[in-house]
Amino acid sequence: MKLRNALFILACGAVAAVAVAQAQRLLIINGKVASNDVRVINGRAYAPIADIARSMDLVVAVNGNRYELTRKGGTGQLDGMTGKSGDWLFDGGWRFRVNRTYRTDAYNRVNEYYDDPVYQAPEGQEILVVEYSYRNGNRQAAPLAFSASLAGADGSARSPYHNDFPHDGDRWFSQALLPGAEGRGAILFYVPRGFQPKDVLITIGGLSGYDDSVRPAKPTVFRIGLTIED
């Protein structure tokens, strides 16, 4: 009797497993399985947006009550992470745009920091100011941490002197932004007079906040072509 009961229980388990397997619903896109988590609610089929985006090589950006499917990189990109001034570039978690670039002999700091609020170019040099915007494309509040480098038309590379943005006690670490919120800043480079810049390289590091579903496997590098304002 005990053996019969055990066999009956095993048989029931096998039937249940088959029933679950048969009940699994798949979403197929272009002949490939995009999601195995399709749910039918009130007669309508639903699949996770992240699964659909991944199958189309897109990323999901959440902005308030809006869900946006977009390509990694943004508008005007050449190889996914390259653009020009005015383009929004996007890596799935953070958007970045250079707004304007100009030369000056003196710069008045906008955000609080620990040194003199006025930056004066040393003799024989000038300040190249790269103004930028950044937006949090994640689903939760997060900080942005990045470094920058300036590439010259002559092949040289220069490090910034200062990053003027709403920091969180660290020169390269922003205050946390809410989803969809935007911050602004300016990167200052001391360069020889007449220096011709080509690109600015923005590297978003691992300390930046990312949703797990869009966190890059390695730091994001945005390469942005600069146009000097007369």
- What phi, psi does 181 have (nearest 5°)? -75, 155
Residues 98 and 210 reside in one and the same domain: yes
Instruction: For tokens 């007079």, name the residue.
Output: 193
What pLDDT score was predicted for residue 178? Answer: 93
Residues 80 and 157 reside in one and the same domain: yes
Give the predicted TM-score (pTM) of the model: 0.65
What pLDDT score was predicted for residue 65? Answer: 52
Which among 154, 135, 142 has a CA at the least distance from the CA of 96?
135
Residues 51 and 126 reside in one and the same domain: no
Residues 48 and 85 reside in one and the same domain: no
What CATH number is associated with residue 160?
2.60.40.1240
**DSSP per residue over 143-187, as a string?**
--BEEEEEEETTS-EE--SEEES-EEEETTEEPPB-TT-EEEEEE
pLDDT digits (tens, 9 = 90+) for 192-223: 998 999 999 999 877 788 888 778 878 889 99
- Biggest CA-to-CA distance, the chain: 99
What domain range is 20 assigned to?
Answer: 8-57
CA distance 182 to 180: 7
Q: Total domain count for the chain?
A: 2
Q: Which residues of the chain have pLDDT under 70?
A: 1-23, 59-80, 114, 169-172
